[in-house]
Amino acid sequence: MSQSKSHADASMRSARIALTTLTAINLLNYLDRYLIAGIVVPLKEALGANDADIGLLTSIFLLVYMVASPVFGILARRMSRTLILAAGILIWSLATMGSGLVNTLTQLFIMRAIVGIGEAAYTTVGPAMLVDHYSPARRPFALSIFYAAIPVGSALSYIASGLIVNAWGWREVFLAGGVPGIALAIVCLKLKDPQPGQSDVATGTSTSASMQASIANNISSNVKIILKSREFVTATVGYIAFTFAFGALAVWMPYYLQTAHGWSVASSTTTFGIVLVASGFVGTIAGGAFAKRLGGGSASCLKLCGICMAVAAPTSVIALYCNDDWLIILGLTISSAFSFATQGPVNAVILNSVSALLRPFAIGMSVLLIHLLGDVPSPWLVGKIFDSSMGMRVGMSLIPITMAVSAMIWFFAGRRLQQIQ
Per residue in 13-70, pLDDT (tens digit) is 888 999 999 999 999 998 888 888 778 778 888 999 887 787 788 778 888 999 999 8
- The pLDDT of residue 38 is 72
> Smallest Cα–Cα separation from 320: which of 391, 407, 246, 249?
249
- Are residues 389 and 289 part of one domain? yes
Are both 169 and 296 inside the same structural domain?
no
Tell whether 371 and 303 lie within a shared domain: yes
- Report d(CA 147, CA 25) in Å as an integer: 11
pLDDT at 5: 58
| pLDDT given at position 205 | 46
Residue 333 lies in a domain: yes
Helix (H, G, I), strand (E, B) or coil at 194: coil
> Which of 206, 232, 264 is the last residue in one of the domains?
206
Which 3 state secondary structure label does DSSP give 407? helix
Question: CA of 249: how far to CAs of 8, 40, 299, 380, in Å?
Answer: 44, 20, 28, 12
Number of domains making up the chain: 2
Same-domain check for residues 201 and 157: yes
Q: How high is the pLDDT of residue 279?
A: 92
Do 232 and 179 belong together in one domain?
A: no
- Positive/negative CA dihedral, 390, 394, 396, 398: negative
- Tell me the residue type at 234: T
Q: Is 70 a domain residue? A: yes
Rounded to whole angstroms, how far apart are CA atoms 241 and 84? 30
CA dihedral of 134, 347, 358, 293, whole degrees rounded to 10: 40
* HSE toward the beta carbon, residue 148, CA cutoff 13 A: 21
Q: Is residue 214 part of a domain?
A: no
Using a cut of 0.85, tell me whether the model's pTM lies above it. no
**Please, where are the H alpha helices in 262-324?**
265-293, 298-321
Tell me how far apart the alpha carbons of residues 226 and 406 are, in angstroms, rounded to a whole number.
20
Q: Rounding to the nearest 10 degrees, give the CA dihedral for residues 109, 371, 352, 16.
A: 40
**C-alpha 34 chain-centroid distance:** 13
User: Is residue 279 located within the same domain as residue 316?
Assistant: yes
Task: Say if residue 247 is in the same domain as residue 344.
Answer: yes
CA distance 363 to 127: 8
- Give yes or no: residues 412 and 312 share one domain: yes
Which CATH number does the domain housing residue 30 bear?
1.20.1250.20
- Is residue 215 assigned to a domain? no
pLDDT (0 to 100) of residue 95: 96
Q: Which of 206, 238, 261 is the last residue of a domain?
A: 206
Question: Are the C-beta atoms of 122 and 88 separated by less than 8 Å?
Answer: yes
- Decide if 212 is inside a domain: no
- CB-based contact 141:344 (threshold 8 Å): yes
Is residue 51 located within the same domain as residue 195? yes
Same domain, 187 and 231: no
Residue ending a domain, choose from 171, 206, 241? 206
Same domain as 377, residue 232: yes
Residue 41 lies in a domain: yes
Q: Which amino acid is at 109?
A: F
Rounded CA-CA distance 381/363 in Å is: 26
| Residue ranges in the chain whose pLDDT is less than 70 | 1-10, 197-220, 421
Same-domain check for residues 52 and 188? yes
The pLDDT value recorded for residue 145 is 92
pLDDT of residue 6: 61
Q: Give helix 81-99 / helix 170-189 axis angle, nearest 10°.
A: 170
**Please, what sign has the CA dihedral across residues 8, 13, 19, 21?**
negative
Are the C-beta atoms of 129 and 81 separated by less than 8 Å?
yes
Q: With respect to residue 317, please indicate whether it lies within any of the assigned structural domains.
A: yes
Does some domain include residue 218?
no
Residue 375 structural domain: 223-420
